[in-house]
Structure 1
Amino acid sequence: QPFRGPYHFRAPSRIFWRTTKRGQAALDRLKVFDSIPQPYDKKKRMVVPAALKVVRLKPTRKFAYLGRLAHEVGEEERESQDLLPEEETAHEATETGREKRGEEN
Structure 2
Amino acid sequence: MTPIEILNKIVQAESNAREIYSEAESLREGFDNYVNKEIEEIRKQYYERADKMIAEAKERETARAEAAIQELDKKLEAELDAAKKHFEREKDAVVLKIFKLAVDADA
TM > 0.5: no
Q: TM-score when scaled to structure 2?
A: 0.26
Structure with the largest fraction of helix: 2
Bigger relative contact order (CA 8 A; separation at least 6): 1
Name which one, 1 or 2, has greater alpha-carbon Rg.
Answer: 2
Which TM-score applies when normalising by structure 1? 0.26
